[in-house]
Structures are given as C-alpha cells and as structure tokens.
Amino acid sequence: ALIQGGKEPGEVMLSASFGVRPTNARASIDITKPIDIGRFLPRSLAASAGRYLSGKLTASGDVDQGFALSDFDLSLGTTPGDKAIRVHRGRIFTENDFDTVQIQKVAVEARRSHAVFDGWVDTQKLLAHVRIDGVFPDLDAWLARFGLPQFAKSAGGGTITIDGPLRSPTIGVRV
C-alpha cells in the first residue's frame, strides 16, 4: 500500500491477539517492504538518517503490568535498501500511563558507530537518566549529517550519561 504523501509502496504484516481478563494485547509487526515515513519525521532526521523504515517489533501489555516494545529490529535508511540507523535488542517499557519510559539495553547502530542505551525518562517530571556506552569511529560524519559542528573525528570506548531535567540536563562523558 502507498501511504498518502509517500514515494514508495510498503508492506506490513500484522498479527495481534487481545484478552479481556486481564485486559491485554499483543501485536507483532513485520515491515516486509520498507515504508516511506518521511512526512512523519522531523525534516532534519529524514534528511540525515533517511525516511524508509523497515524491520519488525512486538508490542505487548496490559492495564495492570504496563506496555513493552520488544523483539525489535528496526532500520531507517535513505533508500528502501539502506539501513543508516538500526535499533535492535533490548526493551522499551512503560507503565502508569506512559509517565515513565524505561530504556533497557537498547542497541543502536549508525553505520560504523555502535551504542547501547540504558535508563529512564519521566515524562511527567520531565527528567531523564540515560547511560550510553559506545564506540563512534565515524562521529564526524554523523555530526555533519545533522549539521552540527565536527568537534571530533571519532570517539572510542566511552560512556555518556544524560541526567536531570530534559530541557537542561547534565551530560557527562567518560572515556
């Protein structure tokens, strides 16, 4: 199917189950042919990382336990066959009506750069504590893609910690 405003047709396979007691749902989504989602993304992201989404994920949850994204392997690319950014492994979990979002060992690959994100975001108090462990041999290329100053060519084997208010967090870097 062609999404209105999209440039390429995409295909999605969806499987879902629902329960009444306890109230729960589970859906598996498999994007078998990349979908052009550029119109839903910030322009800078679509231009820098791409507009074509491919991959799979499982969403499950219930009213008492919370909601989780797991078994995911999603990619974003500049062409339908490209995978400029890949997000996989780990789990993203929320409870209490999305007041908090837990990021549990989510792996991100961006060409030659690799990182693992772990932490939480409180959407009500607008606070975050996220730890990023990674290696960024092509950091300069990614900074350029997003129109940022290229203050370093690469960064290897370090930890970045983002802590505090979302509007003015403390960012720590340890190498």
97-136 pLDDT, tens per residue? 788 999 999 999 999 999 999 999 999 999 999 999 999 8
Q: What residue type is 34 in one-letter code? A: P
Q: What is the helix, strand, coil percentage profile of the chain, to 5?
A: 10, 60, 35
Please give the C-alpha separations between residue 147 and each of 21, 135, 144, in angstroms, as whole numbers.
50, 21, 5
Quote the CA–CA distance of 76 and 80 in Å, as a whole number: 9
Residue 35: partners with Cβ closer than 8 Å, 6 or more residues away: 3, 6, 8, 10, 12, 52, 53, 54
Quote the CA–CA distance of 79 and 52 in Å, as a whole number: 6
Structure pTM? 0.82
Convert the pLDDT of each residue in 23-53 to its tens digit: 889 999 999 999 999 889 888 888 888 999 9
Averaged pLDDT, 11-16: 92
Quote the CA–CA distance of 130 and 162 in Å, as a whole number: 5
Provide the mean pLDDT of the chain.
88
